[in-house]
Chain A
Protein backbone atom coordinates (compact mmCIF):
# COMPACT_ATOMS: atom_id res chain seq x y z
CA UNK A 1 0.00 0.00 0.00
CA UNK A 2 1.33 3.41 -0.87
CA UNK A 3 1.58 5.82 2.00
CA UNK A 4 1.37 9.48 1.14
CA UNK A 5 2.96 11.94 3.52
CA UNK A 6 0.21 14.15 4.87
CA UNK A 7 0.91 17.86 4.93
CA UNK A 8 0.00 20.25 7.74
CA UNK A 9 -0.71 17.68 10.45
CA UNK A 10 -1.99 19.33 13.61
CA UNK A 11 0.59 21.57 15.22
CA UNK A 12 -1.88 23.02 17.71
CA UNK A 13 -4.86 21.37 19.39
CA UNK A 14 -8.05 21.77 17.35
CA UNK A 15 -10.28 23.07 20.17
CA UNK A 16 -8.64 26.48 20.81
CA UNK A 17 -8.29 27.18 17.07
CA UNK A 18 -11.90 26.22 16.46
CA UNK A 19 -13.04 28.10 19.58
CA UNK A 20 -11.43 31.29 18.27
CA UNK A 21 -13.31 30.93 14.98
CA UNK A 22 -16.62 30.16 16.70
CA UNK A 23 -16.14 33.08 19.10
CA UNK A 24 -15.69 35.45 16.18
CA UNK A 25 -18.87 34.10 14.56
CA UNK A 26 -20.76 34.37 17.83
CA UNK A 27 -19.65 37.93 18.51
CA UNK A 28 -20.30 39.12 14.95
CA UNK A 29 -23.49 37.14 14.37
CA UNK A 30 -26.28 39.47 13.15
CA UNK A 31 -28.40 38.64 16.21
CA UNK A 32 -25.55 39.52 18.58
CA UNK A 33 -24.83 42.68 16.62
CA UNK A 34 -28.44 43.74 17.21
CA UNK A 35 -27.81 43.23 20.93
CA UNK A 36 -24.58 45.23 20.88
CA UNK A 37 -26.34 47.93 18.86
CA UNK A 38 -29.22 48.19 21.34
CA UNK A 39 -26.74 48.36 24.22
CA UNK A 40 -24.91 51.20 22.48
CA UNK A 41 -28.21 52.99 21.83
CA UNK A 42 -29.29 52.66 25.47
CA UNK A 43 -25.89 53.95 26.58
CA UNK A 44 -26.35 57.00 24.34
CA UNK A 45 -29.81 57.60 25.83
CA UNK A 46 -28.39 57.36 29.35
CA UNK A 47 -25.56 59.72 28.49
CA UNK A 48 -28.15 62.23 27.34
CA UNK A 49 -30.41 61.76 30.40
CA UNK A 50 -27.59 61.49 32.96
CA UNK A 51 -29.94 60.02 35.60
CA UNK A 52 -28.33 58.03 38.39
CA UNK A 53 -31.01 55.31 38.55
CA UNK A 54 -31.15 54.51 34.86
CA UNK A 55 -27.33 54.73 34.60
CA UNK A 56 -27.12 52.17 37.44
CA UNK A 57 -29.74 50.00 35.71
CA UNK A 58 -27.74 50.26 32.48
CA UNK A 59 -24.86 48.41 34.18
CA UNK A 60 -26.91 45.78 36.02
CA UNK A 61 -29.53 44.82 33.42
CA UNK A 62 -28.25 46.37 30.16
CA UNK A 63 -25.92 43.51 29.16
CA UNK A 64 -28.58 40.97 30.09
CA UNK A 65 -31.47 42.48 28.20
CA UNK A 66 -29.57 43.31 24.99
CA UNK A 67 -26.55 41.18 24.05
CA UNK A 68 -27.42 38.49 26.61
CA UNK A 69 -30.88 37.87 25.25
CA UNK A 70 -29.79 37.98 21.62
CA UNK A 71 -26.89 35.64 22.38
CA UNK A 72 -29.45 32.87 22.93
CA UNK A 73 -30.52 33.18 19.30
CA UNK A 74 -26.99 33.66 17.94
CA UNK A 75 -25.54 30.70 19.84
CA UNK A 76 -28.42 28.47 18.76
CA UNK A 77 -27.88 29.42 15.13
CA UNK A 78 -24.11 28.93 15.32
CA UNK A 79 -24.60 25.54 16.99
CA UNK A 80 -27.11 24.29 14.41
CA UNK A 81 -25.35 25.94 11.43
CA UNK A 82 -23.85 22.79 9.86
CA UNK A 83 -27.01 20.77 10.33
CA UNK A 84 -29.20 23.50 8.79
CA UNK A 85 -26.83 23.83 5.83
CA UNK A 86 -26.89 20.07 5.16
CA UNK A 87 -23.24 19.68 6.11
CA UNK A 88 -23.73 17.14 8.88
CA UNK A 89 -22.34 14.32 6.79
CA UNK A 90 -19.24 16.35 5.89
CA UNK A 91 -18.34 17.28 9.44
CA UNK A 92 -19.10 13.73 10.54
CA UNK A 93 -16.20 12.37 8.47
CA UNK A 94 -13.42 14.64 9.75
CA UNK A 95 -10.86 13.87 12.48
CA UNK A 96 -12.28 16.52 14.85
CA UNK A 97 -14.95 14.86 16.97
CA UNK A 98 -18.38 16.20 17.86
CA UNK A 99 -17.11 16.51 21.43
CA UNK A 100 -14.29 18.78 20.28
CA UNK A 101 -16.71 20.90 18.27
CA UNK A 102 -19.06 21.30 21.24
CA UNK A 103 -16.16 22.02 23.60
CA UNK A 104 -14.98 24.74 21.21
CA UNK A 105 -18.46 26.27 21.25
CA UNK A 106 -18.57 26.21 25.05
CA UNK A 107 -15.18 27.96 25.21
CA UNK A 108 -16.27 30.44 22.53
CA UNK A 109 -19.33 31.37 24.63
CA UNK A 110 -17.03 33.09 27.10
CA UNK A 111 -15.86 35.70 24.59
CA UNK A 112 -19.14 37.68 24.26
CA UNK A 113 -19.28 37.64 28.06
CA UNK A 114 -15.74 39.02 28.34
CA UNK A 115 -16.60 41.73 25.81
CA UNK A 116 -19.74 42.56 27.80
CA UNK A 117 -17.60 42.74 30.95
CA UNK A 118 -15.20 45.13 29.26
CA UNK A 119 -18.06 47.30 28.06
CA UNK A 120 -19.69 47.25 31.48
CA UNK A 121 -16.48 48.34 33.20
CA UNK A 122 -16.12 51.12 30.64
CA UNK A 123 -19.76 52.24 31.00
CA UNK A 124 -19.46 52.34 34.79
CA UNK A 125 -16.18 54.22 34.55
CA UNK A 126 -17.77 56.78 32.23
CA UNK A 127 -20.71 57.47 34.56
CA UNK A 128 -18.37 57.64 37.57
CA UNK A 129 -16.21 60.12 35.65
CA UNK A 130 -19.30 62.16 34.80
CA UNK A 131 -20.32 62.01 38.47
CA UNK A 132 -23.77 60.66 37.54
CA UNK A 133 -24.00 58.08 40.30
CA UNK A 134 -25.28 58.82 43.78
CA UNK A 135 -24.02 55.34 44.59
CA UNK A 136 -21.76 53.60 42.03
CA UNK A 137 -22.38 49.94 41.10
CA UNK A 138 -20.16 47.48 42.99
CA UNK A 139 -18.19 44.51 41.68
CA UNK A 140 -21.17 42.14 41.87
CA UNK A 141 -23.37 44.63 40.04
CA UNK A 142 -20.82 44.97 37.23
CA UNK A 143 -20.23 41.22 36.87
CA UNK A 144 -23.82 39.97 36.91
CA UNK A 145 -24.72 41.23 33.42
CA UNK A 146 -21.72 39.64 31.66
CA UNK A 147 -22.45 36.38 33.52
CA UNK A 148 -25.96 36.41 32.04
CA UNK A 149 -24.40 36.97 28.59
CA UNK A 150 -22.38 33.81 29.17
CA UNK A 151 -25.55 32.10 30.38
CA UNK A 152 -27.47 33.22 27.29
CA UNK A 153 -24.79 31.86 24.96
CA UNK A 154 -24.58 28.54 26.84
CA UNK A 155 -28.36 28.28 26.89
CA UNK A 156 -28.42 28.82 23.12
CA UNK A 157 -25.77 26.13 22.59
CA UNK A 158 -27.58 23.74 24.89
CA UNK A 159 -30.90 24.29 23.09
CA UNK A 160 -29.18 23.95 19.71
CA UNK A 161 -27.85 20.54 20.68
CA UNK A 162 -31.02 19.20 22.26
CA UNK A 163 -33.70 21.08 20.28
CA UNK A 164 -32.26 22.23 16.94
CA UNK A 165 -35.57 23.49 15.54
CA UNK A 166 -35.40 27.12 14.39
CA UNK A 167 -38.34 28.27 16.50
CA UNK A 168 -36.80 27.07 19.76
CA UNK A 169 -34.46 30.03 20.48
CA UNK A 170 -37.23 32.51 19.72
CA UNK A 171 -39.55 30.73 22.14
CA UNK A 172 -36.72 30.66 24.69
CA UNK A 173 -36.19 34.43 24.35
CA UNK A 174 -39.92 35.10 24.76
CA UNK A 175 -40.00 32.78 27.78
CA UNK A 176 -36.97 34.52 29.33
CA UNK A 177 -38.51 37.97 28.97
CA UNK A 178 -41.96 36.86 30.12
CA UNK A 179 -40.45 34.91 33.02
CA UNK A 180 -38.31 37.84 34.10
CA UNK A 181 -41.26 40.24 33.98
CA UNK A 182 -43.41 37.80 35.97
CA UNK A 183 -40.69 37.20 38.57
CA UNK A 184 -39.90 40.87 39.04
CA UNK A 185 -43.54 41.99 39.19
CA UNK A 186 -43.49 41.59 42.95
CA UNK A 187 -40.47 43.68 43.88
CA UNK A 188 -40.52 42.61 47.49
CA UNK A 189 -40.95 38.89 46.84
CA UNK A 190 -38.03 36.41 46.64
CA UNK A 191 -38.92 35.65 43.01
CA UNK A 192 -37.61 39.06 41.99
CA UNK A 193 -34.07 37.80 42.67
CA UNK A 194 -34.38 34.51 40.78
CA UNK A 195 -34.70 35.86 37.26
CA UNK A 196 -31.79 37.06 35.11
CA UNK A 197 -32.95 40.70 35.23
CA UNK A 198 -32.23 42.11 38.68
CA UNK A 199 -31.76 45.89 38.62
CA UNK A 200 -30.84 46.34 42.32
CA UNK A 201 -32.04 49.95 42.26
CA UNK A 202 -35.27 50.88 43.96
CA UNK A 203 -37.07 53.21 41.57
CA UNK A 204 -38.96 54.65 44.52
CA UNK A 205 -41.89 57.07 44.35
CA UNK A 206 -40.24 59.50 41.90
CA UNK A 207 -40.49 57.35 38.73
CA UNK A 208 -36.72 57.03 38.58
CA UNK A 209 -36.08 60.76 38.33
CA UNK A 210 -34.34 60.94 41.70
CA UNK A 211 -32.17 58.53 43.64
CA UNK A 212 -34.13 56.55 46.23
CA UNK A 213 -32.21 53.50 47.45
CA UNK A 214 -30.63 50.18 46.53
CA UNK A 215 -32.60 46.99 46.98
CA UNK A 216 -31.61 44.85 49.93
CA UNK A 217 -29.87 41.55 49.22
CA UNK A 218 -26.45 40.32 48.18
CA UNK A 219 -25.26 41.10 44.61
CA UNK A 220 -22.26 38.81 45.15
CA UNK A 221 -24.49 35.86 46.04
CA UNK A 222 -26.67 36.73 43.05
CA UNK A 223 -23.59 36.35 40.81
CA UNK A 224 -22.95 32.95 42.40
CA UNK A 225 -26.58 32.02 41.73
CA UNK A 226 -26.23 33.10 38.07
CA UNK A 227 -22.93 31.22 37.71
CA UNK A 228 -24.65 28.09 39.06
CA UNK A 229 -27.49 28.40 36.54
CA UNK A 230 -25.00 29.18 33.74
CA UNK A 231 -22.90 26.16 34.63
CA UNK A 232 -26.01 23.98 34.55
CA UNK A 233 -26.70 25.13 30.97
CA UNK A 234 -23.12 24.30 29.99
CA UNK A 235 -23.31 20.86 31.59
CA UNK A 236 -26.64 20.15 29.90
CA UNK A 237 -25.02 21.03 26.56
CA UNK A 238 -22.04 18.79 27.22
CA UNK A 239 -24.26 15.90 28.31
CA UNK A 240 -25.68 15.79 24.76
CA UNK A 241 -22.32 14.65 23.37
CA UNK A 242 -20.40 13.28 26.35
CA UNK A 243 -19.01 9.78 25.91
CA UNK A 244 -18.74 9.43 29.70
CA UNK A 245 -21.58 11.17 31.46
CA UNK A 246 -20.76 10.93 35.14
CA UNK A 247 -18.23 13.83 35.27
CA UNK A 248 -20.78 16.16 33.67
CA UNK A 249 -23.48 14.89 36.02
CA UNK A 250 -21.20 15.43 39.02
CA UNK A 251 -20.39 18.93 37.80
CA UNK A 252 -24.11 19.57 37.28
CA UNK A 253 -24.75 18.61 40.89
CA UNK A 254 -22.03 21.05 41.99
CA UNK A 255 -23.51 23.87 39.90
CA UNK A 256 -26.98 23.06 41.21
CA UNK A 257 -25.68 23.30 44.77
CA UNK A 258 -24.02 26.60 43.87
CA UNK A 259 -27.26 27.92 42.36
CA UNK A 260 -29.29 26.90 45.41
CA UNK A 261 -26.74 28.39 47.82
CA UNK A 262 -26.50 31.62 45.86
CA UNK A 263 -30.25 31.75 45.29
CA UNK A 264 -30.97 31.52 49.01
CA UNK A 265 -28.06 33.66 50.22
CA UNK A 266 -28.80 36.55 47.89
CA UNK A 267 -32.24 37.14 49.44
CA UNK A 268 -32.63 40.08 51.85
Chain B
Protein backbone atom coordinates (compact mmCIF):
# COMPACT_ATOMS: atom_id res chain seq x y z
CA UNK B 1 0.00 0.00 0.00
CA UNK B 2 1.36 3.43 -0.86
CA UNK B 3 1.04 6.32 1.52
CA UNK B 4 0.62 9.92 0.46
CA UNK B 5 2.16 12.92 2.13
CA UNK B 6 -1.31 14.36 2.72
CA UNK B 7 -2.43 11.28 4.64
CA UNK B 8 -3.22 11.92 8.30
CA UNK B 9 -2.16 8.39 9.16
CA UNK B 10 0.78 6.65 7.61
CA UNK B 11 1.75 3.20 8.84
CA UNK B 12 4.24 0.86 7.23
CA UNK B 13 5.23 -2.63 8.34
CA UNK B 14 3.47 -2.33 11.71
CA UNK B 15 4.03 -5.28 14.02
CA UNK B 16 2.37 -5.75 17.41
CA UNK B 17 2.58 -8.91 19.46
CA UNK B 18 0.78 -10.36 22.48
CA UNK B 19 3.09 -13.14 23.58
CA UNK B 20 3.45 -15.37 20.53
CA UNK B 21 0.42 -13.88 18.76
CA UNK B 22 1.23 -11.32 16.08
CA UNK B 23 -1.84 -9.09 16.26
CA UNK B 24 -0.33 -6.84 13.60
CA UNK B 25 1.92 -8.65 11.19
CA UNK B 26 3.60 -6.10 8.95
CA UNK B 27 0.45 -4.04 8.40
CA UNK B 28 0.54 -1.13 6.00
CA UNK B 29 -2.16 1.49 6.34
CA UNK B 30 -2.90 5.03 5.33
CA UNK B 31 -5.89 7.27 5.92
CA UNK B 32 -6.61 10.86 5.02
CA UNK B 33 -9.39 13.34 5.51
CA UNK B 34 -12.80 11.65 5.41
CA UNK B 35 -14.15 8.49 6.98
CA UNK B 36 -12.08 5.30 6.72
CA UNK B 37 -13.69 2.05 7.80
CA UNK B 38 -11.79 -0.95 9.10
CA UNK B 39 -13.41 -4.29 8.43
CA UNK B 40 -12.14 -7.65 9.58
CA UNK B 41 -13.12 -10.73 11.52
CA UNK B 42 -12.68 -10.98 15.29
CA UNK B 43 -8.98 -11.13 16.17
CA UNK B 44 -7.93 -9.58 12.85
CA UNK B 45 -5.96 -6.83 14.57
CA UNK B 46 -8.40 -3.93 14.21
CA UNK B 47 -8.48 -2.99 17.89
CA UNK B 48 -4.70 -3.33 18.17
CA UNK B 49 -4.32 -0.96 15.24
CA UNK B 50 -6.80 1.55 16.68
CA UNK B 51 -5.03 1.45 20.06
CA UNK B 52 -1.79 2.32 18.25
CA UNK B 53 -3.54 5.18 16.41
CA UNK B 54 -4.90 6.40 19.77
CA UNK B 55 -1.35 6.35 21.22
CA UNK B 56 -2.29 3.99 24.05
CA UNK B 57 -0.13 1.19 22.63
CA UNK B 58 3.03 1.27 20.55
CA UNK B 59 3.74 -1.06 17.64
CA UNK B 60 6.79 -3.20 18.26
CA UNK B 61 8.10 -2.66 14.75
CA UNK B 62 7.33 -0.50 11.77
CA UNK B 63 6.94 3.17 11.05
CA UNK B 64 3.84 5.02 12.20
CA UNK B 65 3.14 8.69 11.69
CA UNK B 66 -0.07 10.37 12.84
CA UNK B 67 -0.83 13.96 11.89
CA UNK B 68 2.72 14.10 10.57
CA UNK B 69 4.09 13.26 14.02
CA UNK B 70 5.78 10.25 15.58
CA UNK B 71 3.70 8.82 18.46
CA UNK B 72 6.82 7.22 19.94
CA UNK B 73 8.19 10.69 20.77
CA UNK B 74 6.65 12.13 23.95
CA UNK B 75 6.16 15.69 22.66
CA UNK B 76 4.67 14.40 19.40
CA UNK B 77 2.43 12.00 21.33
CA UNK B 78 1.08 14.90 23.37
CA UNK B 79 0.40 16.90 20.19
CA UNK B 80 -1.45 13.91 18.69
CA UNK B 81 -3.52 13.45 21.85
CA UNK B 82 -4.49 17.12 21.75
CA UNK B 83 -5.96 16.56 18.29
CA UNK B 84 -7.50 13.15 19.01
CA UNK B 85 -10.94 11.86 19.95
CA UNK B 86 -10.81 8.19 20.86
CA UNK B 87 -13.66 5.80 21.53
CA UNK B 88 -12.27 2.49 22.80
CA UNK B 89 -14.19 -0.76 22.59
CA UNK B 90 -14.70 -0.74 26.36
CA UNK B 91 -15.26 2.83 27.48
CA UNK B 92 -16.53 2.75 31.03
CA UNK B 93 -17.47 5.73 33.17
CA UNK B 94 -17.72 5.81 36.96
CA UNK B 95 -21.31 4.78 37.68
CA UNK B 96 -21.73 7.43 40.38
CA UNK B 97 -20.99 10.29 37.96
CA UNK B 98 -23.79 12.05 36.14
CA UNK B 99 -23.59 12.06 32.35
CA UNK B 100 -22.49 15.69 32.51
CA UNK B 101 -19.83 15.02 35.16
CA UNK B 102 -18.44 12.08 33.19
CA UNK B 103 -17.89 14.14 30.04
CA UNK B 104 -16.80 17.19 32.04
CA UNK B 105 -14.12 15.10 33.78
CA UNK B 106 -12.74 13.97 30.42
CA UNK B 107 -12.95 17.53 29.12
CA UNK B 108 -10.62 18.64 31.94
CA UNK B 109 -8.25 15.79 31.07
CA UNK B 110 -8.37 17.10 27.50
CA UNK B 111 -7.16 20.46 28.79
CA UNK B 112 -10.46 22.33 28.57
CA UNK B 113 -9.72 24.17 31.78
CA UNK B 114 -11.80 27.35 31.43
CA UNK B 115 -14.94 26.39 33.33
CA UNK B 116 -17.65 28.30 31.42
CA UNK B 117 -16.30 27.38 27.98
CA UNK B 118 -15.84 23.76 29.06
CA UNK B 119 -19.38 23.47 30.34
CA UNK B 120 -20.69 24.94 27.08
CA UNK B 121 -18.65 22.40 25.15
CA UNK B 122 -19.90 19.51 27.29
CA UNK B 123 -23.49 20.60 26.74
CA UNK B 124 -22.80 20.87 22.99
CA UNK B 125 -21.49 17.31 22.64
CA UNK B 126 -24.25 15.89 24.85
CA UNK B 127 -26.78 17.61 22.61
CA UNK B 128 -25.05 16.21 19.52
CA UNK B 129 -25.55 12.64 20.74
CA UNK B 130 -29.03 13.34 22.09
CA UNK B 131 -28.20 13.02 25.77
CA UNK B 132 -28.78 16.61 26.88
CA UNK B 133 -32.07 15.61 28.50
CA UNK B 134 -30.36 13.04 30.74
CA UNK B 135 -27.28 15.11 31.58
CA UNK B 136 -28.08 15.01 35.29
CA UNK B 137 -28.77 11.28 35.38
CA UNK B 138 -26.19 8.98 36.95
CA UNK B 139 -24.24 6.80 34.55
CA UNK B 140 -25.54 3.72 36.37
CA UNK B 141 -29.10 4.75 35.42
CA UNK B 142 -28.34 5.02 31.68
CA UNK B 143 -29.12 2.21 29.21
CA UNK B 144 -26.32 0.45 27.30
CA UNK B 145 -27.06 2.48 24.18
CA UNK B 146 -27.01 5.73 26.15
CA UNK B 147 -23.66 4.83 27.70
CA UNK B 148 -22.27 4.16 24.23
CA UNK B 149 -23.52 7.54 23.07
CA UNK B 150 -22.01 9.11 26.18
CA UNK B 151 -18.68 7.54 25.25
CA UNK B 152 -19.08 8.83 21.71
CA UNK B 153 -19.85 12.34 22.96
CA UNK B 154 -16.49 12.73 24.69
CA UNK B 155 -14.67 11.99 21.41
CA UNK B 156 -16.26 15.12 19.93
CA UNK B 157 -14.95 17.49 22.62
CA UNK B 158 -13.01 20.32 21.02
CA UNK B 159 -13.80 19.14 17.49
CA UNK B 160 -10.66 16.99 17.20
CA UNK B 161 -8.77 16.67 13.95
CA UNK B 162 -8.63 12.88 14.23
CA UNK B 163 -11.40 10.57 15.45
CA UNK B 164 -10.59 6.93 16.23
CA UNK B 165 -13.71 4.90 16.92
CA UNK B 166 -13.66 1.23 17.87
CA UNK B 167 -17.00 -0.42 17.16
CA UNK B 168 -18.97 2.75 17.87
CA UNK B 169 -22.40 1.33 16.96
CA UNK B 170 -22.38 -1.64 19.34
CA UNK B 171 -25.52 -1.48 21.46
CA UNK B 172 -27.21 1.24 19.40
CA UNK B 173 -30.73 0.75 18.07
CA UNK B 174 -31.51 1.60 14.40
CA UNK B 175 -32.58 5.14 15.22
CA UNK B 176 -29.45 5.75 17.26
CA UNK B 177 -27.29 4.26 14.47
CA UNK B 178 -28.89 6.64 12.02
CA UNK B 179 -28.07 9.53 14.32
CA UNK B 180 -24.52 8.18 14.74
CA UNK B 181 -24.03 8.09 10.98
CA UNK B 182 -25.12 11.70 10.79
CA UNK B 183 -22.66 12.72 13.52
CA UNK B 184 -19.73 10.81 12.04
CA UNK B 185 -20.35 11.91 8.47
CA UNK B 186 -20.45 15.52 9.67
CA UNK B 187 -17.28 14.94 11.70
CA UNK B 188 -15.61 13.51 8.60
CA UNK B 189 -15.87 16.80 6.74
CA UNK B 190 -12.40 18.30 6.85
CA UNK B 191 -11.24 15.80 9.48
CA UNK B 192 -10.02 12.23 9.60
CA UNK B 193 -12.25 9.53 11.06
CA UNK B 194 -11.09 5.94 11.39
CA UNK B 195 -13.69 3.50 12.62
CA UNK B 196 -13.73 -0.21 13.10
CA UNK B 197 -17.00 -2.06 12.84
CA UNK B 198 -18.62 -5.37 12.04
CA UNK B 199 -21.53 -3.48 10.49
CA UNK B 200 -20.87 -3.42 6.75
CA UNK B 201 -23.96 -1.25 6.35
CA UNK B 202 -22.26 1.45 8.41
CA UNK B 203 -19.16 1.26 6.25
CA UNK B 204 -21.21 1.35 3.05
CA UNK B 205 -23.18 4.34 4.31
CA UNK B 206 -20.37 6.35 5.86
CA UNK B 207 -16.93 5.54 4.55
CA UNK B 208 -15.25 6.99 1.52
CA UNK B 209 -12.46 4.49 2.11
CA UNK B 210 -12.34 0.96 3.48
CA UNK B 211 -9.48 -1.20 4.71
CA UNK B 212 -10.03 -4.94 5.20
CA UNK B 213 -7.73 -6.53 7.76
CA UNK B 214 -7.18 -10.17 8.56
CA UNK B 215 -4.43 -11.90 10.52
CA UNK B 216 -2.76 -8.54 11.17
CA UNK B 217 -2.39 -7.64 7.50
CA UNK B 218 -4.32 -5.39 5.15
CA UNK B 219 -6.03 -7.46 2.48
CA UNK B 220 -7.66 -4.53 0.73
CA UNK B 221 -7.53 -0.76 0.81
CA UNK B 222 -9.61 1.37 -1.46
CA UNK B 223 -13.02 2.85 -1.92
CA UNK B 224 -16.25 1.04 -1.09
CA UNK B 225 -17.26 0.78 -4.81
CA UNK B 226 -13.83 -0.70 -5.60
CA UNK B 227 -14.30 -3.37 -2.94
CA UNK B 228 -17.85 -4.09 -4.04
CA UNK B 229 -16.64 -4.27 -7.64
CA UNK B 230 -14.40 -7.20 -6.70
CA UNK B 231 -17.56 -9.27 -6.18
CA UNK B 232 -19.11 -8.46 -9.55
CA UNK B 233 -20.29 -11.69 -11.17
CA UNK B 234 -19.68 -13.73 -8.01
CA UNK B 235 -23.03 -13.42 -6.28
CA UNK B 236 -26.03 -15.42 -7.38
CA UNK B 237 -29.43 -16.60 -6.28
CA UNK B 238 -30.64 -20.19 -6.54
CA UNK B 239 -33.60 -22.20 -5.29
CA UNK B 240 -31.38 -24.59 -3.37
CA UNK B 241 -28.19 -24.25 -1.32
CA UNK B 242 -25.04 -24.71 -3.40
CA UNK B 243 -22.29 -26.37 -1.36
CA UNK B 244 -19.53 -24.88 -3.51
CA UNK B 245 -20.32 -21.31 -2.39
CA UNK B 246 -18.02 -19.51 0.05
CA UNK B 247 -21.15 -18.48 1.97
CA UNK B 248 -24.87 -18.86 1.47
CA UNK B 249 -28.01 -17.95 3.34
CA UNK B 250 -31.73 -18.43 2.83
CA UNK B 251 -33.68 -15.37 1.75
CA UNK B 252 -37.13 -14.54 3.04
CA UNK B 253 -38.73 -15.72 -0.21
CA UNK B 254 -37.24 -19.19 0.11
CA UNK B 255 -34.39 -18.92 -2.41
CA UNK B 256 -30.69 -18.88 -1.42
CA UNK B 257 -28.21 -16.04 -1.73
CA UNK B 258 -24.73 -17.35 -2.66
CA UNK B 259 -21.27 -15.83 -2.67
CA UNK B 260 -18.38 -17.51 -4.47
CA UNK B 261 -17.66 -18.82 -7.94
CA UNK B 262 -21.06 -19.26 -9.58
CA UNK B 263 -21.96 -22.32 -11.66
CA UNK B 264 -22.63 -21.86 -15.36
CA UNK B 265 -25.98 -20.26 -16.03
CA UNK B 266 -26.40 -19.00 -12.46
CA UNK B 267 -28.83 -16.15 -11.83
CA UNK B 268 -26.36 -13.39 -10.94
CA UNK B 269 -27.35 -10.55 -8.66
CA UNK B 270 -25.78 -7.24 -7.65
CA UNK B 271 -23.18 -7.72 -4.91
CA UNK B 272 -23.22 -5.86 -1.62
CA UNK B 273 -20.25 -4.72 0.45
CA UNK B 274 -20.88 -7.67 2.72
CA UNK B 275 -20.63 -10.09 -0.23
CA UNK B 276 -17.34 -8.56 -1.32
CA UNK B 277 -16.01 -8.67 2.22
CA UNK B 278 -16.93 -12.36 2.57
CA UNK B 279 -15.22 -13.21 -0.69
CA UNK B 280 -12.07 -11.42 0.42
CA UNK B 281 -11.78 -12.80 3.92
CA UNK B 282 -13.35 -16.20 3.42
CA UNK B 283 -16.07 -18.12 5.20
CA UNK B 284 -14.60 -17.59 8.69
CA UNK B 285 -15.58 -13.93 8.38
CA UNK B 286 -19.19 -14.98 8.46
CA UNK B 287 -18.96 -15.20 12.24
CA UNK B 288 -18.16 -11.53 12.41
CA UNK B 289 -20.59 -10.13 9.87
CA UNK B 290 -23.99 -9.27 11.17
CA UNK B 291 -26.79 -10.69 9.08
CA UNK B 292 -24.95 -13.76 7.81
* Interface residue ranges, A against B (CB under 8 Å): 1-4, 6-14, 17-18, 21, 81-82, 84-87, 89-96, 101
Contact of A6 among B33, B54, B82, B114 (CB under 8 A): B82
A90 touches B86 (CB 8 A): yes
Residues of A within 8 A of B151 (CB): 90
Q: Is B81 an interface residue (CB 8 A)?
A: yes
Residues of B within 8 A of A95 (CB): 78, 81-82, 109-111
Residues of A within 8 A of B81 (CB): 93-95
Decide yes or no: A4 and B113 within 8 Å by CB, A17-B108, A90-B91 being known contacts. Answer: no
A7 touches B159 (CB 8 A): yes
Given contacts A8-B112, A8-B114, 4 further A-B contacts (CB under 8 A): A1-B7, A4-B190, A4-B191, A7-B121
By size class, the interface of chain B is 35 or more
B108 touches A89 (CB 8 A): no
Give 29 CB contacts A-B under 8 Å: A1-B7, A1-B32, A1-B33, A2-B33, A4-B83, A4-B161, A4-B191, A6-B158, A8-B158, A9-B82, A10-B112, A10-B113, A12-B113, A17-B108, A17-B113, A17-B115, A18-B108, A21-B108, A86-B92, A87-B92, A87-B93, A89-B51, A89-B88, A90-B151, A94-B106, A94-B110, A95-B111, A96-B110, A96-B111
Residue of B nearest to A16 (CB): B113
Residue of A nearest to B81 (CB): A95
A93 touches B55 (CB 8 A): yes
B91 touches A92 (CB 8 A): no
Residues of B within 8 A of A10 (CB): 111-113
Q: Is B90 an interface residue (CB 8 A)?
A: yes
B108 touches A14 (CB 8 A): yes
Tell me, rounded to whole Å, the shortest Cβ–Cβ distance linking B216 to chain A.
20
Give Cα A60 to B136, complex, Å: 40
Decide yes or no: A8 and B118 within 8 Å by CB, A14-B109, A90-B91, A92-B56 being known contacts. Answer: yes
Give Cα A8 to B84, complex, Å: 14
Residues of A within 8 A of B83 (CB): 4, 6
B158 touches A91 (CB 8 A): no
Residue of A nearest to B110 (CB): A94
Residues of A within 8 A of B56 (CB): 89, 92-93
B91 touches A96 (CB 8 A): no
Contact of A93 among B8, B86, B121 (CB under 8 A): B86
Residues of A within 8 A of B95 (CB): 85
Give Cα A21 to B7, complex, Å: 39
Residues of A within 8 A of B117 (CB): 7-8
Within 8 A of A (CB), among B1-37: 6-8, 32-33
B121 touches A87 (CB 8 A): no
Which 6 pairs across A and B sit closest by C-beta, in order of nearness? Answer: A86-B92, A10-B111, A12-B113, A89-B88, A94-B109, A85-B92
Give Cα A17 to B86, complex, Å: 22
Q: Is B229 an interface residue (CB 8 A)?
A: no
Q: Is B240 an interface residue (CB 8 A)?
A: no
Q: Is B154 an interface residue (CB 8 A)?
A: yes
Tell me, rounded to whole Å, the shortest Cβ–Cβ distance linking A91 to chain B.
6
Residue of B nearest to A4 (CB): B161
Residues of B within 8 A of A3 (CB): 161
A18 touches B109 (CB 8 A): yes
Interface centre among B51, B92, B190 (most CB of A within 10 A): B92
Contact of B90 among A8, A89, A91 (CB under 8 A): A89
Tell me, rounded to whole Å, the shortest Cβ–Cβ distance linking B47 to chain A.
10
Q: Is B221 an interface residue (CB 8 A)?
A: no
Residues of A within 8 A of B263 (CB): none
Interface string of B108-139 (1 = CB under 8 A from A): 11111111011001000000000000000000
Residue of B nearest to A101 (CB): B109
Q: Is B186 an interface residue (CB 8 A)?
A: no
Tell me, rounded to whole Å, the shortest Cβ–Cβ distance linking A38 to chain B.
21
Residues of A within 8 A of B68 (CB): 1
Residue of B nearest to A12 (CB): B113
Tell me, rounded to whole Å, the shortest Cβ–Cβ distance linking A206 to chain B.
47
Q: Is B43 an interface residue (CB 8 A)?
A: no
Give Cα A93 to B50, complex, Å: 11
B91 touches A89 (CB 8 A): yes
Give Cα A85 to B105, complex, Å: 14
Residues of A within 8 A of B106 (CB): 90-91, 94
